Amino acid sequence: MRRLVLPVLAVALALAAGGASSAALPKNLPCPNKASWQRLANRIKAPVYCPAWLPDPLVGTIGNRWNNINSVSPDRSYLESFVWQETGGGAAGGELHVNLRGYPGRTTIPTCTEVNTVNGKNHHVTMPCFADPSGTVRVPGITATMYTVNQDADQWHVLLAWRHAGGLYTVSEHVAPPLDFDKVVAYLKQELNALVLINPTT
Amino acid sequence: MRFTRKQVVVGAAAAGVLGAAGIYEAVDQLTTAPERPAAAAELGPEQHLLGGQRIVRENGAEVIVPPLHHEVVTATVEAEDLRDAQRKLEEALAGLDRRYPATPAGLGVLVAWGLPYFRRYVPAPAQTYLPRDRRAEKPALLDAVRFPSDPADTILEQNDVAVLLRSDRLDHIADAEHALFDGTGLFRVTSIRKGFAGGGFDGGVSLPKQMAVAAGVGGADLIPDTAELFMGFTSTLVANLGPEHIANLETLGLAFVPDGYFRGGTHMHLSHIAEDLEAWYLNFAFDERVDTMFRPHLKVKPGTQTVPQGPGDVATSADVVRDYKESGTIGHSQSIQPSSRLQEDYLGEDGTLYKKGTAIPQRADFNTLDNPFFWSADPKRDRMKTVPTAGVHFVVFNPTSDDFHRNRMAMDGVLPDGTKLKFEPHSRGQGFNAVLTTTHRQNFLVPPRRHRSFPLVERL
């Protein structure tokens, strides 16, 4: 129990302090585990982005305890999901969930399908996976568009999408306690600023 | 601007909070009263009509600029001598009439009475004089009900009276609160509900956005800057609101008004609805918000807030059924139009020819940060919380309770011709119902001005 409470307190305290501001982050943070991201880049034969900074307690190492989804599809697109969850009210509970995606070989927004079952009949509704663009975020080397309505694993997330080397890349974060929309946007900017590009070597 | 805890948390006694504005004081800091036309000259028989309304054009549609401040005070009767109480209340109301014109720049005051009042205090004359709904073959005033998409714990209230106060001026509302409730011995206040609307018609950021951001409500940053209401669309289009006398009990012939006692009166439904703005703005793309607010596949320019809904745009039951079958979704406006708009031309009892497609209900809803009320005499029962939340105090005037119930049932896919479109509660296909949670409901009768004070007491 004690082991669980400590990271929760750390999250609560970091949020109470307004979260780490980008000014407080050292520049050129290293990828926490380059080997795991290098393997992903080599596997999909395309560049990937390693998150050098994620909100505490998340650490951007593929295969660690926070990495609940490590998925590559036949079209070489990937989803790396990092999540921290704790049940309980107030500062004792909450969720931090960050998704990183890449779609090598395509720059258009993918299409998602929602199944709406009404009166026993399934209605398949197609929609853009990322919608409602609302501004641009710029960091060195990346100009990303912010999308506020997103589907599938990015549902209820705010998402930043950008293009690189003929591919589409995204980072998104869940709007859920202990974070509100403002804090998610602040975190996303920080995450975007701390991405490390890993090119395939084979 | 961010609200302080002191602004958010108000005291425990009704006397202490009467006149207190709490977070709503910020309305006056965030915007100025809009320019208004000259005051209306004379008070009509209807309590529910406001004169001096300002109309602006938005996206080709006429839009009414609503009063900035709104408040509803509910109460039970405390007075024992009802004839004396009738005289005292009328004197207080007449005093307000003398001080303020019945306009947004002045003060709109409406006194509405619930079934508990008629049953407890004037049961015999109520049997004789309460209007009856000819179409429904029921009393025009019915107990509120829970609708299919309502939670099982929606509270059906039993207040004797509700007073609606509307003004651009907070001090006018505070004056009315004191005149009617503070030490008068007439009423025991059961709840105080406050809110605001508009504020963005002359450019700049609207009140709902500024107030929600200041209160730290989830999803507040996603509200469009100039939105009239939290949900992002303009609500007070002239074509969406019934013209002057149409919601009167007698105008469309819906209600039989014995001896004309309640002629010029109407019916009021009051509810509190919590709005999950994060779900609305993070899960529904703009196109889907338009689909579910208005009708599926409606094409409007991205970012549009004012969507014209004139008589020619009115949907029929067949349109609603077709969209339901094709897409599994219905739009909010579309679904209620078969019951809320005239299906054919109608020569009203007031001599006006109301054209097919004309809206019948007159809404006076307003946004709130109450959770669910500004103040409650029974905080446990009302599940009062001190954290502000986005919501709407929904106030609507229809000729009868049944007429309102038909509209509300249509929102849940039960159309006036009996067609039932099946939806799971809070299903996405049900449009914006998916992000709304109704906490309280009650129906009231709004007497004409001449009988607004303790109606029927003189007939005991």
Query: How many separate domains does chain A show?
Result: 1
Residue of A nearest to B279 (CA): A156
For residue B54, give the nearest of B168, B165, B207, B164 by alpha carbon.
Answer: B168
Q: Using one digit for the tens of pLDDT, what is the confidence trace for A63-121?
A: 999 999 999 999 999 999 999 988 776 666 789 999 999 999 999 999 998 777 766 77
The enclosing H or E element of B57 equals strand B54-58
Residue A132 at interface with chain B, using a CB cutoff of 8 Å: yes
Average pLDDT, chain B: 90
- Inter-chain residue contact B282 with A182, CB threshold 8 Å: no
Tell me which chain B residues have a C-beta less than 8 angstroms from the C-beta of A131: 285-287
Give the count of alpha carbons within 13 A of B412, CB side only.
17
Q: Which residue has the higher pLDDT, B2 or A1?
A: B2
Cβ A58 vs Cβ A96: under 8 Å: yes
Query: B188, B216, B168, B185: which is closest to B74 by C-alpha?
Result: B188
Model pLDDT for residues B128-186, shown as the tens digit of each residue = 999 999 999 999 999 999 998 899 999 999 999 999 999 999 999 999 999 999 999 99
Quick one: which of A55, A49, A107, A52 has its CA closest to A78? A49
* Tens digit of each residue's pLDDT (9 = 90 or more) over B106-124: 999 999 999 999 999 999 9
For residue A180, what is the nearest residue in chain B, using CA coordinates? Answer: B218
> What pLDDT score does A24 carry?
60
pLDDT in tens, B287-317: 989 988 888 888 899 889 888 877 777 888 8
A128 interface with B at CB cutoff 8 Å:
yes
**The pLDDT value given to residue A12:** 40
Higher pLDDT, A86 or A199: A199
What does the pLDDT look like over B381-433, one tens digit per residue?
999 998 999 999 999 999 999 999 999 999 888 888 888 888 776 677 776 78
**Domain containing A80: what range?**
31-198
Q: Which of A97, A117, A119 to substitute to test the interface with B, most B CBs within 10 Å?
A: A119
Tell me which DSSP letter residue B66 carries.
-
Is the torsion defined by CA of A30, A32, A33, A37 positive or negative?
negative
Q: Is residue A3 part of a domain?
A: no
ipTM, two decimals: 0.72
**What residues in A contact B419, CB-CB < 8 Å?**
none
pLDDT at A10 over 60: no
Cβ separation B278–A175 shorter than 8 A:
yes
d(CA B320, CA B291): 12
Share of chain B above pLDDT 70, in %: 94
Interface touch B327/A117, C-beta < 8 Å: no
Q: What is the torsional sign of CA B208, B214, B217, B221? A: positive
Per domain, the residue ranges of chain B are 53-459
